[in-house]
Chain A
Amino acid sequence: MFIHFAFLAGLGLTAIPIIIHILQKNRVKEMEWAAMKFLLEIVEEQNKKIQLEDLLLLILRVLMFIFLVLGIARPIMSISSAGLLDSNGQIVILMDDSYSMSTREGLETRFDNAKKRAIKLLENQPKGYGVSIVRFNQYSTTLTGGFSVDHELLKQTVTKMKPGFLKGNIENGLDYAIRLFTKDEGKKVIFLISDFQEKDWASAGADLTNRIKELNGKIEFTFIPVTDSIKENVAVESVTSTQSAVKLGEKATIIGVLRNYGKEVAKDQNVDFLVNGSLVESSIASIPPGQTAKIIFSYVPEESGDQRIEVKLRHDKVEPDNSSFFTLKVVDQLRVLGVLDESSIGLKFHEITMADMALNPFPLASKDERALYKFEYIGISSLASVKLSDYDFVLIANVRDITGIDAKPLEDYVKQGGGVIMFLGPNVKLETYNNNLYKDGEGLWSFPLSEQVAESEKDKALEFNGENKEHPIWQFILSEGRNYLTPFKVFKSFTFDVKENTKAIVLGTVKSDKMNIAKPCLVDFSYGAGHVIVYGSSSNMKWGRFPIHPSFVAFMHQSFKYLKSFSSSSSNLSIYAEYKKKVGLEESQASYQLIAPSGSAYTLSVLGENDIYELKIDSSKLSEHGFYKLVNLDDKTKESFLSINLDVSEGDISCMQNGAIESSFKPLGVNVDLSGGELSVALNNIDPITELAFIFLILAFICWVAENLLGYRITKRS
């Protein structure tokens, strides 16, 4: 507000000096001049001078930025390394960040207490001493990239720390801290801040004790416990489904396993079942101490694709293990291509009928609407004209001849990660198979096919033995002490001649009375990124009884599940696992983005070698538990989810008592600080480290002043 507002018009008078200035500036007199030579010489000399000054100006500016950057980077010089001090020393603050440190008591977690202790320690250290902060769990890392003298920066780093999702490994952490010391001489101090979980410290046992004893005198240890009396913890140990994939509209069954790591019965635990983040069902469970409880949920998926299944405990003091995640694949159908001799096409009952019925337990088998596996049949002569990549599996049974033309598309299909199951039988002509599938060890098969074997006595079965019982195909048949193959009869079978080859796994052998040694009749051949499972006998009743044996259903399901696993690694992974997925040529051109549960995004690219393209995610990127979203940036409808789960063995959170810690470690020469981080550890003779930042900043300032003075001089003259 102005009393005489109109007088503000007088501000227009400011234009007068401006106009005079401009007019004066533009007024140039002209004059003929005889002694021009002198003027030109002066101008030339001044130009040279200006060039020199410009160069000087440039050098000053460059130096100014160099010094400024060096100053900000805060270089340090150890006085001992400069030969000014005989003794030296370094401090490591080792912080346990396993997920048991997330245990909450009141408003604060064990990790919050650990951070407070670490900050107090940093405040107690005299300035100029190098300190390194190391976090340890299964893996250990330094947060400071070595030793730093900037205690403020270290405090800020500690403040920002959060507990991890891994289990602890105290030996690993100590080893890492010891390796971090870069100097042979001088004092070395390790402050260890942990919840002293009984499980970890008890298992470390004698090895740890010996290690500390061994280092006694060389390294000074101070243990700072952040213990409490909490012992009760229930974890969601796992979430799985009985089905490898669920058909759209069919019921999916989900099993959640809860484990009580506490010492008392965990009563009335509220458990939620969530699908794609929405609560579907809740349940209540009571679990005895040290026991597990299975909770079964079921639901009918209404959309295809990856479904995010989560089982979550509502109230528990240890948050990370309160959830477990699972990605359920919901598909409309899985396509299976059945390949037969032309003469068998159109028959009501042929070599693949039993396999179809085993996989689709309905009266009409794959023709039933509820069938997950959709079978289509072609004659062997049409194999070369079919686009195999459209099919999830290829099943070939009792085909007479496999020509080179037939073998080529099969090779390409398997090479890209496809799965083939082959049943042989009476029609099979050995020569064509060996010529086109074995190809002297270069083909799909790593072993050549040998003659049929049979017992001389009619109706006498061959002796069949399952091999490599830990193979996934035998999971429900032979593993864990089961043997459901005993009454299983094979009367006739082709066998394979064993060759030195790591690409083949023998899954079953047969032996007749006349044979000295058993020969393989069931083999898993790997080729490129895929596998071929070959059974030397028939898939119908002609040469054996396997198709009507109950284990045949499990064999077929497991075989398909096993073969499918090579086109993509499971989307249900443990934390820090590596993920690999085979992709086709078209998908390999696309860009991918991985979005972590916290929202961090990573761009991924596909790597290709020998026409095999693989989308790979480093384990370091899968460092959070929860669902990761994988998006094809070229076609965003193609998104999938990876579920990452914790190793819940960390769930046993009970801590050692302070008295036990003192009695265990004090005799080893370890300082135990029970005072809440106030312990003043002798830091005599620790290497003072000189910070050079101030010198560089002063140099930068001098350059700035010189640059300004020179600039002023140049401006004035020009």
Chain B
Amino acid sequence: MKVLTKYLNKQAIAAIAKMDMEPRGLVAGSQAGNHKSPFQGFSVEFAGHREYVPGDDIKHIDWNVFYKKDKYFIKQYEAETNLVCQIFLDVSESMRFGSHEKTKLDFAYELAVCLTYLVTKASDKVGCCVFDETILQYIRPSNSLATVYKLNSILEETKATKKTSVEKNLMDFAERLGRREIVILISDFLINPEELKRGLGRLRYDNHEIVLFHMIDPYEKDFPMDGRIKFIGLEGFPELKLQPRQIRKAYLEKFNNHRDKIVEICEKNRVEYVEVDTSKPLAELMFQYMVSRLTHITR
């Protein structure tokens, strides 16, 4: 029997059941919702007064002020809108690597599905872009819970066999977005950091809130292997026979440099960087992440 939500991790859902995905800043949704909008209008939250100008609806005239000031003033309210979350998910071949139970790809799928569930549960919209060399699938933003099943179904059919092209796809992806949305990038970012820098710059131009989940396998981070190993390259890289112990120091230096560079790029672009250890449970990651969102200062 086919499981409809293969990648919906129950422990993770349970861990964040009472939490909502609150944006850290203003969002600009297309519908009324629970989140602050950068626009002002006529809603619940009072924002202030302004002088009446011909053309304004007279029903918004604050008569109490007219009595006091003998002038017409219009009452204004803060607009509240819904949240639009866009997930940008890397399914390139390098994501297939995993030294433990789950590969980076499995973990990324679960994370994406979990986030989709979290957003749709709060009646906000979530969209998802699945890419490798090109954009493979794009699920338009929707607040329907069916999006979770749809995404799950797409991911089940996706094969990770190609290289990553982050910059090009981010540029393309940015064209499909509105403004002031939450963009979640999920990848192992084994790319040239400069590509990422240019892609993030484009997203920041539209005032999106960006969260970057960096998928790291513990073997990639610690390089703990021993003996003689034939490394079979993914994404078209050749094979190499090496003794890892002899190059561990050099490797770790390179890997850490690469990660530090990505962190630096994130900081410069005001992107939230989340390092994901794929050997740990998703529930733990989600809980910690959601808590951190609540405790951090709103930008």
Which of B104, B217, B233, B258 is within 8 Å of A36, CB to CB?
B233
Whether A39 sits at the interface, judged by CB under 8 Å, is yes
Convert B219-255 into 0s and 1s, putting 1 for each residue whose CB lies closer than 8 angstroms to a CB of A.
0100001011111111101101110001100110011
Q: Which of A34, A35, A42 contacts B247 (CB 8 A)?
A: A42
Point out the residue from B220, B241, B251 that lies within 8 Å of A34, measured CB to CB.
B220
Residue B95 interfacial (CB < 8 Å): yes
A283-298 interface mask toward B, CB cutoff 8 Å, 1 = contact, 0 = none? 0000000000000000
Contact A28/B230 with A36-B237, A37-B190, A37-B237 known, Cβ cut-off 8 Å: yes
Do A35 and B190 touch across chains, with their CB atoms under 8 A apart?
Answer: yes
Say whether A160 faces chain B, with CB atoms less than 8 Å apart. Answer: no
CA–CA, A28 and B225, complex, Å = 12
Q: Contact between B232 and A34 (Cβ–Cβ < 8 Å)?
A: no
A712, chain B: closest CB distance, angstroms: 15
A38 and B228 contact, CB distance less than 8 A: no
Is A39 touching B96 in the complex (CB atoms < 8 A)? Answer: no
- B165 within 8 Å of A (CB atoms): no
A8 interface contact, C-beta 8 A: no
B188 CB within 8 Å of chain A: yes
The closest CB in chain A to the CB of B220 belongs to A35
**Does B97 have its Cβ within 8 Å of any Cβ on chain A?**
yes
Q: Which chain B positions have C-beta within 8 A of A40?
A: 233, 237-238, 240
Interface centre among A25, A39, A717 (most CB of B within 10 A): A39
Q: A28 near B228 (CB under 8 angstroms)? A: yes
Query: Closest CB of chain B to A90's CB: distance in Å?
Result: 62
Chain A residues with CB under 8 Å of B246's CB are 717
Instruction: Select B97's contact among A34, A43, A45, beta carbons within 8 Å.
Output: A34
Contact A31 B254 (CB under 8 A): no
B residues near A207, Cβ cutoff 8 Å = none
- CB-CB contacts below 8 Å: A14-39 with B: 25, 27-39
Which chain B residues border A42 with CB–CB below 8 Å? 247, 250-251, 254
- Complex Cα distance, B247 from A43, in Å, reads 9
Q: Which of A31, A34, A46 contacts B190 (CB 8 A)?
A: A34
**Complex formed: what's the CA distance from A39 to B220 in Å?**
11
Given contacts A32-B234, A34-B95, A717-B246, whether A39 and B251 have CB atoms under 8 Å apart is: yes
Using a Cβ–Cβ cut-off of 8 Å, how many residues does chain A contribute to the interface with B?
21
B94 sits at the interface (CB 8 A): yes
Contact partner of B230 (CB less than 8 A), chosen from A31, A35, A45, is A31
A500 within 8 A of partner (CB): no
Q: Contacts of B225 on A, CB cut-off 8 Å?
A: 29, 31
Question: In the complex, what residues of B have CB within 8 A of residue A36's CB?
Answer: 231, 233-235, 237-238, 240
B232 touches A31 (CB 8 A): yes
From B188, which residue of chain A is reached at the shortest CB distance?
Answer: A34
Are the C-beta atoms of A28 and B190 separated by less than 8 Å? no
Establish whether residues A29 and B228, one from each chain, have CB atoms under 8 Å apart when the complex forms: yes
Q: What residues of chain B lie closer than 8 Å to A33, measured between beta carbons? A: 97, 231-234, 237
Q: Taking the nearest CB of chain A, how far is it from the CB of B268, in angstroms?
A: 23
CA distance A28 to B95 in the complex (A): 24
A41 to B242, CA, bound (A): 13
Mostly, the B contact residues are: mixed
How many chain B residues touch A (CB < 8 A): the figure is 32
B218 to chain A, nearest CB (A): 12
**Bound complex: CA A31 to CA B241 (Å):** 10
Task: For the complex formed, measure the closest distance between the CB of B100 and the CB atoms of chain A, giving whole angstroms.
Answer: 13
Looking at chain A's contact residues, is the secondary structure mostly helix, strand, loop, or mixed?
helix
Interface centre among A31, A34, A38, A46 (most CB of B within 10 A): A34
* Contact A39:B247 (CB < 8 A) given known A32-B96, A34-B95, A34-B97: yes
Complex-state Cα separation, A32 to B236, whole angstroms: 11
Q: Mark A35-67, 1 if CB is under 8 A from B, else 0.
A: 111111111011000000000000000000000
Q: B163 to chain A: closest CB distance in Å?
A: 11
For the complex, what is the distance from the CA of A55 to the CA of B94, rounded to whole Å? 38
0/1 string, A630-668, CB within 8 A of B gives 1: 000000000000000000000000000000000000000
What residues of B have a CB within 8 angstroms of the CB of A32 in the complex? 96-97, 231-232, 234
CB pair A28–B229 under 8 Å, yes or no, is: yes
* Residues in chain B near residue A43, CB distance under 8 A: 240, 242
Nearest A residue (CB) for B234? A34
Give A28 to B94 CA distance when docked, in angstroms. Answer: 22
Minimum CB–CB distance from B229 to chain A (whole Å) comes to 5
> What chain B residues lie within 8 Å of A46 (beta carbons)?
247, 250
Interchain CA distance A40-B236 in the complex, whole Å: 12
User: How distant is A43 from chain B, measured CB to nearest CB, in Å?
Assistant: 6
A31 near B231: Cβ-Cβ < 8 Å: yes
A430 to chain B, nearest CB (A): 101
Query: A369-404: contact bitstring with B at CB < 8 Å (1 yes, 0 no)?
Result: 000000000000000000000000000000000000
Identify the closest chain B residue to A45 (Cβ).
B250
Q: Which residues of the partner chain A approach B231 to less than 8 Å between Cβ atoms?
A: 31-33, 36, 39
Question: How many angstroms between the C-alpha atoms of A36 and B235 in the bound complex?
Answer: 9
Residues of A contacting B190 in the complex (Cβ-Cβ under 8 angstroms): 34-35, 37
* C-alpha spacing A46/B242, complex, angstroms: 12
CA distance A39 to B254 in the complex (A): 9
Q: Quick check: B229 and A31 within 8 Å, CB to CB? A: yes
Q: Which residues of B are found within 8 Å of A28, using beta-carbon distances?
A: 227-230, 241
Q: Mark A677-705, 1 if CB is under 8 A from B, else 0.
A: 00000000000000000000000000000
Residues of chain B contacted by A31 (CB below 8 angstroms): 225, 229-232
| B232 cross-chain contacts in A, Cβ below 8 A | 30-33
Bound-state CA distance A705–B83 (Å) is 72
Known: A34-B188, A42-B254. A27 touches B227 (CB 8 A): yes
Determine whether the beta carbon of A30 is less than 8 Å from that of B233. no
Chain B min CB distance to A40 (Å): 7
- What residues of chain B lie closer than 8 Å to A35, measured between beta carbons? 94, 190, 220, 255
Docked pose: A506 CA to B96 CA in angstroms = 115
Chain A hits for B251, CB < 8 A: 38-39, 42
Interface residues of B in 252-281 (CB under 8 A from A): 254-255, 258
Give the distance in Å from the alpha carbon of A46 to the alpha carbon of B94 in the complex. 24
Chain A positions within 8 Å of B230 at CB level: 28-31
Binary A-proximity of B76-93 (CB < 8 A = 1, otherwise 0): 000000000000000001
A53 to chain B minimum Cβ distance, whole angstroms, is 15
| Complex CA–CA separation, A70 to B175 (angstroms) | 76
Bound CA span A498–B93, Å: 112
Residues of A within 8 A of B254 (CB): 38, 41-42
CA–CA, A35 and B231, complex, Å: 10
Docked Cα-Cα span, A32 to B96, in Å, equals: 9
- Chain B 98-148 interface residues, beta-carbon cutoff 8 Å to A: 104
A317 CB to closest chain B CB, in angstroms? 82
Which B residue's beta carbon lies closest to that of A41? B254
Cα distance, A31 to B259, chains bound together (Å):
22
Encode contact with A along B188-213: 1 for CB under 8 Å, 0 otherwise.
10100000000000000000000000
> Which of chain B's residues 44-99 have a Cβ closer than 8 Å to chain A?
93-97
Q: Which residue of A lies closest to B254 (CB)?
A: A38
Give the shortest distance, in Å, between B276 (CB) and chain A (any CB). 14
**A31 vs B227: C-alpha distance in the bound complex, in angstroms?**
12
Provide the bound-state CA to CA distance between A124 and B198, in Å.
Answer: 88
- Output the least CB separation between B69 and chain A (Å): 69
Which residues in A have their C-beta under 8 angstroms from that of B188?
A: 34
Most chain A beta-carbon contacts within 10 A, residue among B229, B232, B233: B233
Query: CA of A513 to CA of B234 in the docked complex: distance in angstroms?
Result: 126
In the complex, residue of chain B having the shortest beta-carbon distance to the beta carbon of A26: B228
18 additional A-B pairs beyond A28-B228, A28-B241, A46-B250, beta carbons within 8 Å, are: A27-B228, A28-B230, A29-B225, A29-B227, A29-B230, A31-B229, A32-B97, A32-B232, A34-B104, A34-B190, A35-B94, A35-B255, A37-B190, A38-B255, A39-B247, A40-B233, A42-B247, A43-B240
Those 8 A-B pairs whose CB atoms lie nearest each other, nearest first: A36-B237, A34-B94, A34-B97, A36-B233, A33-B231, A38-B254, A28-B228, A30-B230
A-B contacts, 18 of them at CB < 8 A, read A28-B228, A28-B230, A29-B229, A30-B230, A32-B231, A34-B93, A34-B95, A34-B97, A36-B233, A36-B235, A36-B240, A37-B190, A37-B237, A38-B258, A39-B231, A40-B238, A42-B250, A42-B251
